[in-house]
Amino acid sequence: MAEAKGHDYALFLGCIAPNRYPGCEASAIKCSRKLGINLHDMKGASCCPAPGAFGSIDLNVWYAMAARNVVIAEKMGMDIALECNGCYKSIYEVNEKLKHHDELRDMVNEVLKTVPDPTDPTKKGTMEFKGTIDVFHLVELYADPKICGPDKIRENVVRPLTGTRIGVHYGCHLIKPKKERHLGDTENPMWIEELVAALGAEPVQYRKKMQCCGAGGGVRGYDLVHALDITNEKLINLHEAKVDAVTESCPFCQLQFDRGQIEIKEKFGKMWGLPVLHFNELLGLAFGMSPAELALDMHAIPVDPFLKKIL
Amino acid sequence: MAKAKGYSDPKLEAKLQDRYYYREYSHPDFTKKVHDLARTVNHMCYQCGTCTGSCVSAPRSSYRIRLFMRRQVLGLEDEALTDPDLWLCTTCYSCTDRCPRDIAPTDVIMAMRNFAYQRGIVPVNFLKTVQLIYQSGHGVPNNDVNRAVRTKIGLPKDPPTTHAYPEFLPGIRQILDHWKVKEQADKIVAEAEKHG
């Protein structure tokens, strides 16, 4: 559906990017435009909803709320692009499940019938999941040579991140479970490293690269020190590989790595001070956006040591 | 659950506690219930342990995904749903990617959490997210500090979601009310707070 009108996508924002790290949102809009990807507002979208919290208590609510967000984009006639792995799990997976399971779709549509229309909140009975669009993560679009690809990114870099070593944290829900995704190997993927290299930085391999950040599944809220211990193991392994920063494609992982380091200091007495940057923030820096434009001062762990190497 | 052995010394009775499972503990329909909600071939588990070996939570806790897989195959519903370790899965899906029987143990855990919730067993942090979404449409809502920063970097102070368009909130509340999750969340959170 996207090819008919060029690269136009409905931008699904989620919660943590717009409400905690707004630089991710600013950069997604600005940098994507430079790369020929136009992102459009999804008026009245909500939380995806959080797959760990909602999936754990009532899967039906999770299906219905995610479907409502999908229908907003269906009505815009656009595929969805988003920038959070958690949102990707909810929106991508529910979209696929409802496309392929009639009984789930009927159950969801029964409820959506009573929900106000996104183009006119006074109208009801017009919300229906039809299964007419697809869902993509922005990094997936950046990596896809048919849409963008690393070469196009390289051509647009005005401030190469030369001399920096960056570890990539893929996060879980972007690529796993692999049989429900289409993004290839999940044991040692390298395609985000290619994007990082296109920005001029040196992507660095480290031990247990594919390990979870620890926050998902409601564990961050349920047992904080358990979640932090997982994060701390990742930080040990990143530190051993002498990285200048860790990048990810998920604001929830970012929150866990960034604020998590403050909590690790409080609970375990260790201070890592490792800058954490969403891929979109890295992209913004490489495309010439200033740290102020990216609101990098919203980070709990100062990113200055990283900035010193590139500014 | 253990059957009493009738030893005269209560300390020995406790130490040598019967750890067998008996047929009467089993609810065979539990395996089917898990299957219907998790949509995976959960009964196929042959206990190889690849799941636990792949698990990020196992090395730092008593959580064993293989044990939960065994419990659901045997229909040991009470053991599975009342074990607090059920809530230590980060849903990273490593076990699912590596399972040689093509089962999705992660989805089995999610289904079992749904059944635990139906019994009123659920950590309150899950329910607080429900309450936040009911109020604002967002699990992590905006705040004044962030609004100021958004304005400074040229974004609207509220994102174009239910934050900027609260007229869509009633629709979201309708979805939550349809399955009575807000009601259930309020009830359990109030009880938890009463007991400190």
Give the model's pLDDT for residue A183: 95
- Tell whether B167 and B76 lie within a shared domain: no
Contacts (Cβ under 8 Å, ≥6 apart) of A279 = A139, A142, A192, A195, A196, A247, A248, A249
In a domain, B161, yes or no: yes
Using CA atoms, how far apart are residues A34 and A51, in angstroms rounded to an integer? 32
Residue length, chain B? 196
Has residue B68 been placed in a domain? yes
Can you name the residues that pair with A8 across neighbouring β-strands? Answer: A38
**CATH number of domain containing B26:** 1.10.1060
Buried b (16+ CB within 10 A) or exposed e, A267-295: eeeeebebbbbbbbbbbbbbbebebebbb
Return the percentage of chain B with pLDDT > 90, whole number: 92
Residues B131 and B105 in one domain: no
What's the pLDDT at A5? 46
Bridge-based pairing of strands A79-82 and A8-12 is: parallel
* Closest residue by Cα to residue A191 from A130, A221, A228, A150: A150
Whether the predicted pLDDT of A261 surpasses 80: yes
- Statement: residue A300 has pLDDT above 60: yes
B123·A46 Cβ contact <8 A: no
The CATH number, out of the four listed (3.40.190.180, 3.40.50.300, 2.30.290.10, 1.20.1050.140), of the domain defined by the range A8-137: 1.20.1050.140
pLDDT score at A6: 58
- Supply the CATH classification number for the domain A158-310: 3.40.50.11810
In this complex, do A47 and B167 lie within 8 Å of one another by their Cβ atoms? Answer: no
In this predicted model, what pLDDT tens digit does every residue of A47-96 receive, in sequence order?
999 999 999 999 999 999 999 999 999 999 999 999 999 999 999 999 99
Q: Which residues span the domain enclosing B149?
A: 124-194
Arithmetic mean of pLDDT over chain B: 96
Can you tell me the ipTM of this complex?
Answer: 0.94
User: Does one domain contain both B132 and B104?
Assistant: no
Average pLDDT over residues B179-188: 95
Number of domains in chain B: 2
Q: How many angstroms separate the CA atoms of A67 and A108, rounded?
A: 7
User: By the CB < 8 Å criterion, does A68 face chain B?
Assistant: yes
Does B151 lie in the same domain as B112?
A: no
Decide if B25 is inside a domain.
yes
CA distance B22 to chain A (A): 29
Q: How far is B149 from chain A (nearest CA, A)?
A: 7
Q: Are residues B91 and B175 in the same domain?
A: no
Domain boundary among B61, B84, B118: B118
CA distance A136 to A45: 16
Whether residue B41 is found in the same domain as residue B131:
no
Q: Which helix (H) or strand (E) holds A245?
A: strand A245-248
Query: Which of A:129-168 have CB within 8 Å of B?
Result: none
Considering only alpha carbons, which residue of chain A is nearest residue B126? A53
- Structure tokens belonging to residue B158: 């509220």
Q: What is the pLDDT of residues A112-164, one digit of tens each?
A: 998 888 777 788 889 999 999 999 999 999 999 999 999 999 999 999 999 99
- Domain's final residue, options B99, B118, B137: B118
pTM: 0.95
d(CA B137, CA A48): 9
- Given a cut of 50, whether residue A1 has pLDDT beyond it is no
Segment B104-128 mean pLDDT: 97
Q: Do A176 and B97 lie within an 8 Å CB cutoff? A: yes
The residue ranking higher by pLDDT, A6 or A217, is A217
Distance, in Å, from the CA atom of B58 to the CA atom of B89, rounded to the nearest integer, reads 9
Q: Is the same domain home to B25 and B65?
A: yes
Residue B65, helix vs strand vs coil: helix
What is the domain partition of chain A in residue ranges? 8-137, 158-310
Task: Read off the pLDDT of each residue in B135-156 and give the average, rounded to a whole number.
Answer: 97
3-class secondary-structure state, position A297 = helix
Contact A239, A261 (CB under 8 A): no
CA distance, residue A9 to nearest chain B CA (Å): 15
Same domain, B104 and B129: no
**Burial (Cβ within 10 Å: 0-12, 13-18, ≥19) of residue B63:** buried
Answer whether residue B2 shows pLDDT above 80. no
B178 with B94, same domain? no
Residue B21 phi/psi, 5-degree rounding, is -105, 140
pLDDT digits (tens, 9 = 90+) for B148-168: 999 999 999 999 999 999 999
Question: Predicted confidence band at A235 (pLDDT cuts at 50, 70, 90)?
Answer: very high
Burial class (CB in 10 A: 0-12, 13-18, 19+), A122: exposed
The stretch A207-221 carries a mean pLDDT of 97
Same domain as B45, residue B31: yes
Sign of CA dihedral A56, A59, A64, A70: positive
In a domain, B9, yes or no: no
Q: Which residues of A touch B161 (CB under 8 A)?
A: 13, 18, 42, 44-46
- Give the minimum alpha-carbon distance from A45 to chain B in angstroms, rounded to a whole number: 5
A298 and B CB contact within 8 Å: yes
By Cβ distance, the residue of B92, B127, B172 closest to A212 is: B92
The answer to whether residues B142 and B157 belong to one domain is yes
From A26, A216, A218, residue closest to B155, measured CB to CB: A26
d(CA A48, CA B28): 35
* Residue finishing a domain among B118, B137, B171: B118
| Mean pLDDT, range B127-141, rounded to an integer | 96
Average pLDDT over residues A299-303: 98
Q: Are residues B130 and B113 in the same domain?
A: no
pLDDT in tens, A178-195: 999 989 999 999 999 999
